[in-house]
Amino acid sequence: MTRIRLNGCEREVQEGATVAAVLPLLDVAPDARGVAVAVDAEVVPRGAWGRHALADGAEVEVLTAMQGG
């Protein structure tokens, strides 16, 4: 198992899990629009979600639009 931090919460995921594989943990579809992902403070482009494997200790941020000024 691989331990990651997903939006600030500790999670255990399958070894070699990709960004696309962990998005459903947040109820986000692997092809969701209006969503952006950063891993260890680097943007992971949508097109790479399916192949970007998460290393142990990876910090994953999954962001979307919220009401804001």
Partner 1 sequence: MSEPLRLAGREFGSRLIVGTGRFPTLEILEAAVRESGAEIATVALRRVDTGTHGSVLDVLRDAGVQILPNTAGCYTARDAVMTARLAREAFETDWVKLEVIGDERTLFPDAPELLRAAEELVGDGFEVLPYTTDDPVLARRLEAVGCAAVMPLGSPIGSGMGIRNPYNLAMIAERASVPVILDAGVGTASDAVLALELGCDAVMASSAITRAEDPVAMARAIRHAVEAGWLARGAGRIPRRDYALASSPEEGRASFS
> For partner 1, which residue of 1, 3, 5, 7 counts as binding (CB under 8 A)?
7
Told to check if 10 binds partner 1 by CB under 8 A, we report: no
- Contacting partner 1 within 26-55 (CB under 8 A): 26-28, 32-38, 41, 43, 45-46
- Going by C-alpha positions, the residue among 7, 33, 29, 12 that lies closest to residue 20 is 29
Told to check if 63 binds partner 1 by CB under 8 A, we report: yes
Report d(CA 55, CA 19) in Å as an integer: 11
Q: Which stretch binds partner 1 (CB under 8 A): 13-21, 25-33, 50-58?
A: 25-33
Strand-pairing partners, residue 44, are 37
Told to check if 14 binds partner 1 by CB under 8 A, we report: no
Report d(CA 21, CA 8) in Å as an integer: 17
